[in-house]
Amino acid sequence: MAVYTDVAADELAEFLSRYDLGELLSYKGIAEGVENSNFLLHSSAGYFILTLYEKRVAKNDLPFFLALMTHLASRGISCPLPVKNRSGEALGTLAGRPAAIISFLEGIWPRKPSAAHCAGVGQALARMHLAGRDFPMARANALSVSGWRPLFEQSASRADELQPGLRAFIEAELDHLEGGLWPKQLPIGVIHADLFPDNVFFLGDRLSGIIDFTFACNDMLAYDVAICLNAWCFESDCSFNVTKARAFLNAYGRERKLSEAEEAALPLLARGAALRFLLTRLVDFLNVPPGALVRPKDPLEYVRKLRFQQSVASLRDYGVAASGLVA
């Protein structure tokens, strides 16, 4: 979450007049995240999140995201629900941007995830994958392997400003992953594709909700697992925490057991996931719009994670044996 587009009070009042949300009491921008403009709304009907969609989010994809949240909630997944206006529409326009209001979830995201948090995420991710099996809509993953080189080309000329040799490091990894190794026959379904700690809320150690589905798409389910290994199982110094990885993978496996092919592919998928977030962070870091209320995330964090993933030979390096994820 972030704020790229400011919203004037009179514009917001006119927008909210189409909803049955009572009187607007306050609103404020949310600085965390990097993709869309987000505001916390407080009205006489309660708290809500207002999102203005920008940057990589295509307007034609928004019905997919909003319908997916509704579908998952109907299957028992704790996630926000889109709020419809009096015309029955969940999507509108505000400040020249597509905009939606969603319900507010209680909880806070963990700044220092524990093994218990990782287990909660593993369980929730597997349940989300299962709940999405009968979701009727589909959206391709625009940020899969075929989209990585175009991202690199946006930032290649300045990559070495962050770290000498970064351009050559990324190019070598791209050459490796584009060389026909990327899996093609693994189970596919709806994935979150961005399930970082700031997109998961907890009340104590209990997971209370998953938010921000604006990267959700259809792709390999194991790729979502790989994204979470990178997002949840490293310490602040980018050392890998085997205890957290074991907790995450075993909790996932208790709900949905990975196939042998998925297990074998996981180290390569984790390399790809690390490169994907290195590239998007690099583009964002080098292109923060003037005046935007946003904290760009450090691309070099994912250089260190990618270097670790390049060294992984099998699931044993994640703390579990092959076929060791319990059913």
Tokens representing 78?
Answer: 């704790």
pLDDT at 327: 39
CA atoms of 64 and 86, how far apart (whole Å) = 21
pLDDT at 122: 98
Tokens representing 242?
Answer: 């085997």
Low-confidence ranges of the chain (pLDDT < 70): 1-4, 31-34, 56, 289-295, 322-327
Q: For 78-119, list the strands marked E by DSSP.
A: 82-83, 92-94, 97-103
CB 296 within 8 A of CB 34: yes
CA atoms of 152 and 280, how far apart (whole Å) = 9
Distant-in-sequence, close-in-space partners of 89: CB < 8 Å, separation ≥ 6: none
Q: What are phi and psi of 176, to 5 degrees?
A: -65, -50
pLDDT tens by residue, 91-114: 999 988 999 999 999 999 999 999
- 180 φψ region: left (φ > 0), alpha (ψ -120 to 50), beta (else): left
The dihedral sign for the CA sequence 246, 111, 199, 287 = negative
Residue 207 CA: distances (Å) to CA of 77, 106, 107: 11, 10, 8
| Identity of residue 217 | C
Four-point Cα dihedral 308, 314, 320, 322, nearest 10: 160
CB 279 within 8 A of CB 173: no
- Identify the bridge partners of residue 82 per DSSP, sorted by sequence position: 102
The dihedral sign for the CA sequence 310, 314, 320, 326 = positive
CB 267 within 8 A of CB 224: no
pLDDT at 58: 81
pLDDT at 297: 87
pLDDT tens by residue, 253-276: 999 999 999 999 999 999 999 999
pTM: 0.92
Residue 177 CA: distances (Å) to CA of 224, 234, 261, 267: 17, 22, 18, 12
